């Protein structure tokens, strides 16, 4: 058994895994001149991962205060990377989040050798 599988097997045995619902979406351009779009959400995809709150100290030292309070980080398997990139809404418990994207379109995805770390920020509008 490789290290990644044994790592997530241990998380699962100890009850640290949480079900995360990813809502992928497609966007259709209604009017090419006005650039109006319609977003259609697809069926949610359940993913298991370890969810951690981002502490105020890491907001200050790791992220230089650019993330809002209430942000989360997820440790999950690498095979879910594309799903996190196309997900427009992520549900953990009763709260909604989105993957952090900086101003240069850099994703909040940190790929390690055996796992993936995803940085989520609070999504203010739950309607779409």
CB 118 within 8 A of CB 87: no
- Which DSSP state fits 63? S
pTM assigned to the model: 0.81
Q: Which domains does the chain have, with CATH numbers?
A: 3-26+36-122 (2.40.10)
Structure tokens at 28: 């259709």
Residues 28 and 112: their CA atoms lie apart, in Å, by 34
Give me the pLDDT at residue 65, please.
Answer: 56
pLDDT digits (tens, 9 = 90+) for 80-117: 999 999 999 999 999 999 988 876 667 788 888 889 99
Helix (H, G, I), strand (E, B) or coil at 37: strand
Give me the pLDDT at residue 124, please.
Answer: 73
10 Å CB burial of residue 65 (0-12, 13-18, 19+) is exposed
Give me the pLDDT at residue 51, please.
Answer: 93
> What is the CA angle 111-98-108, rounded to 5?
25
pLDDT digits (tens, 9 = 90+) for 35-62: 899 999 999 999 999 999 887 766 555 5
pLDDT digits (tens, 9 = 90+) for 8-44: 888 888 888 999 999 999 989 999 899 899 999 999 9
């Amino acid at each position: 058994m490789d290290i990644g599988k044994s790592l997530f097997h241990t998380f699962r045995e100890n009850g640290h895994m949480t079900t995360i619902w990813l809502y992928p979406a497609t966007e259709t351009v209604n009017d090419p001149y006005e650039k109006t779009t319609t977003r259609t959400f697809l069926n949610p995809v359940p993913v298991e991962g370890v969810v951690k709150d981002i502490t105020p100290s890491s907001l200050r030292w790791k992220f230089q205060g650019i993330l809002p309070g209430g942000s989360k980080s997820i440790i999950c398997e690498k095979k879910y990377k594309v799903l996190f990139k196309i997900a427009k809404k992520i549900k953990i418990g009763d709260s909604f989040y989105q993957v952090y994207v900086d101003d240069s379109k850099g994703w909040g995805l940190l790929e390690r050798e055996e796992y993936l770390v995803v940085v989520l920020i609070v999504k203010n509008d739950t309607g779409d």
